[in-house]
Structure 1
Amino acid sequence: MAMTREQMDRKIDEHFSFEATDNVEGVLSTLADDVEHDIVGSPTGPTHGRAAARPFYESMFADLSESSVRCVKRLYGDNFLVDESIWSGRAPGKPFGLDGKNRPLEFRLLHIVEFTDNGDIKRENVWLDFAAILNQLQ
């Protein structure tokens, strides 16, 4: 049975709220056990399973702080959504290999998220505006 828009919104908003509080366990709890986690352009390529997604979140939470995500637009289909958002916060670490120097940072994100029938995220595909990140941190 397909999820409603409201159910998908609740799940992705829960996922984003765990990210905003650097809660690795919370983020992982929103993912299916066998999740495909794909940060496009990542040197590791797509990973499979919660354990394989963990290092990305641990690294991201060390490199970025004070994060907030503002939704610009969402599109919906049967058990999937496309979310265009703006991420903003600070870069105290070395996000994406760049020295953040605790500078403010803001960039666009595009998430393509597929859900299992029970509402877990089974595939998270993330595209980010790397040009904007480079412009702010180089």
Structure 2
Amino acid sequence: MALSRAEMDRKIDEHFGFEALDDIEGVLSTLAPDVEHDIVGWPTGPTDREGARSFYQTLFADLADGRAESLRRLYGEDFLVDEALWKGTAVGRPFGLEGRGRPLEFRMLHVVQFADNGDIKRENVWLDLSAILQQLPQA
């Protein structure tokens, strides 16, 4: 059964809301038990729900006061593509770079596929690493 755009929006907005609160259990509650979680370029590669937990623990320690503004969404029968702008502060070592409390802003592209029950069964995230590197020089 295909999800409506409103149902997809509701689930991804719930997911992003938990991310904004640094609520790992909340984020995980939006994922299917057999989720494929893939942050492109992340050292572990695509992973499962426990790998997603580890990713979010690291991410939430490295970035603070984050908020993502959705710029546009494209929809398919069981997926959406969300282009967003993330703004916040790099307090730890985001993506292996010294944050030093500097402000950070970068674009993200999420490709999200949904299970029939509305849970996220695949999350694929692409980050604008070039923008991140420009804002967090390591000199």
TM-score (normalizing by structure 1): 0.98
Deviation string for 1:41-70 (max 9, x for gaps)? 11111002x112100000000000101010
The one-letter code matched in structure 1 to 2:61 is: A
2:102 matches 1:108: no
Map 1:119-134 onto structure 2 (within 5 A): 119-134=118-133
In the other structure, the counterpart of 1:117 is 116
Distance 2:29 2:95 in 1: 24
Give the superposition deviation at 1:126.
0.2
Unaligned runs of 5+ in 1: none
Percentage of identical aligned residues? 67
Q: CA RMSD in A?
A: 0.5
Distance 2:99 2:50 in 1: 27
Distance 2:13 2:101 in 1: 26
Deviation string for 1:67-124 (max 9, x for gaps)? 1010110000011000000000001000001000011000000000000000000000
Distance 1:110 1:134 in 2: 17
May I ask how many residue pairs the two structures share in their alignment? 137
